[in-house]
A and B are shown apart, each in its own frame.
Chain A
Amino acid sequence: MRVLTPFGAAAGDTRPLARRRPSLAGLRIGILDNSKPNAIALLEQVAEGLVARAEGARIVRWQKPGASLPATIIDEVAAGADVVLTASAD
């Protein structure tokens, strides 16, 4: 028999990602902590590892009040960092 698929169409618009930089030297490495347990431990350790590979780089930190809330500070993060790390997990 013929049946209709239940998914409907979805928004498929895409936006270009920022060009990558060949080096992280001297950059502000942002961390957006979503307040999940140990998120800051994970992100800081990665950021420290990046700083060790990039002369003059430094870490800048932000925290969302909760993982399930939108990042209302996203413009501030974008302006205050050159690259940003964030994570989603439990």
Chain B
Amino acid sequence: MFVPLGASVAASYGMPNLPLVTVPHPIGGLEPKLVRAKAERIVDQVFMALTTDPMAPAAVRGPADEAVTAPDDLDAFQVWAMTEGWGDGLPVLPPTAERVARILGGAAADTLVAELQPRRGFATLRAIAINAALAGAGPEHLPVIVAAIRALADPAFNLKAVQTTTHPCTPLVIVNGPIARRLGVSGGANALGNGHRANAVIGRSVRLVCQNIGGAIPGQTDRATQGHPGKFTYCLAENEAESPWEPLHVERGFAREDSCVTVCGSEGPHNVNDHGSINAEGLVRAISGTLATTGSNNMYSGGEPLMLIGPEHAATIAGSGWSKADLKRAVWERAKVRLDRWGPETRARFVPIDPERFRDKPLDHEVHVSHRPEDLMVVVAGGPGKHSAVIPTFGHTKSVTVRVSESG
């Protein structure tokens, strides 16, 4: 089950012939004695793998950019593209040389933007543009897509783990600054839903790059147990016009007039319904309760869970005189889970992963949702209504913000 991932990771370290011995899934969630019995059955194979020289590796090179012949009929093309492993299941547009050239404009096609894990695929401008063509993006979207890919390759993002984990996460692309307004990236009503072309095609292009160039192949090297719908596309702008606070990119040291992209290794949004509160103190209770839950990776892996605050909630919070930092501090203080809400095996598992929060703690100890208040992220987005969302992350991933380069 995990063999394609094991082989892919070995190859990414330059060792495609690394011997692998397999044990039937699962390993976790079993009595240790059952796992020991499984182990007994592979000792001979492991012994052989350790004492017999492996085969020399076959020459492995990923397919270079090349033109191939596909069906002319658009419906037949869909079936063909999925068979070739190009698509995400929704219809894709044919990446003809003409369409790719139009997206690239005058940009230097061979420019290497990033090397993407786990495949160590070379995301050149040309390869990115081919995926943008599949996704239905236009040339105007390319700078945002490219910036997102550059951000994903930052080691802090931990792309290999985000791409291959069983956890339901995928890059969430947050766009700030003038380019969001110019391209029509929505941060307003239904921003994470349907109905916005820029949101749809930018997020989808990034996801197809992750799949096709990065090599996160669903059910093979992408081991997501269930995934989430944002793996088709997951992109929005911050609603800067209706935010009472400095936007995300300004908080991170960029100028308000800079155009920036932030990527997070994110779960889907979890709703925070609060139609009653008239001040920050009330709203914080609803937000922190939704954030601190027993099933969240952030509870034991740390990371930077995101509060996506609807503009009406933001106005209520700011109306109490609270800054973004005040909100983070207040939510952090309340967003806690008592240790005894987890089972004994799970508590024991968390200790080596996050000793700071779990080692030698009494059962009534309350664990904060992140290590520090400032790890919590706040972005204002959405339209009218009394809803916000919290978006947990994979945990072992840091969001990365980069400036969008529009010079090609």
A63–B352 CB distance below 8 A: yes
Contacts of A49 in B (CB 8 A): 39-40, 43, 46-47
A5–B16 CB distance below 8 A: no
User: Interface code A1-30, partner B: CB below 8 Å = 1, 0 otherwise?
Assistant: 111111111111111010111111000000
CB-CB under 8 A for A9 and B65, given A4-B130, A14-B57? yes
A4, A5, A9 pick with most chain B CB within 10 angstroms: A4
A72 at the binding interface (Cβ < 8 Å): no
B63 at the binding interface (Cβ < 8 Å): yes
Contacts of A42 in B (CB 8 A): 23, 27, 35-36, 38-39
B32 at the binding interface (Cβ < 8 Å): yes
CA of A21 to CA of B51, assembled, Å: 5
Q: In the complex, how many residues of chain A place their beta carbon closer than 8 angstroms to a beta carbon of chain B?
A: 47
What distance in Å separates the Cβ of A28 from its nearest Cβ neighbour in chain B? 12
A24–B47 CB distance below 8 A: yes
A9 CB contact (under 8 Å) in B1, B40, B121: B121
When C-beta atoms are compared, the residue in chain B nearest to A33 turns out to be B352
A3–B353 CB distance below 8 A: no
What distance in Å separates the Cβ of A4 from its nearest Cβ neighbour in chain B? 5
CA of A46 to CA of B67, assembled, Å: 48
A20, A38, A50 pick with most chain B CB within 10 angstroms: A38
CB-CB under 8 A for A11 and B120, given A21-B51, A37-B345, A88-B5? yes
List 6 interface pairs A-B (beta carbons < 8 Å), by A numbering. A5-B86, A10-B62, A11-B122, A37-B29, A41-B39, A46-B42
- Residue numbers of A with Cβ under 8 A of B are 1-15, 17, 19-24, 35-39, 41-46, 49-50, 53, 63, 65-66, 68-69, 83, 85, 87-90
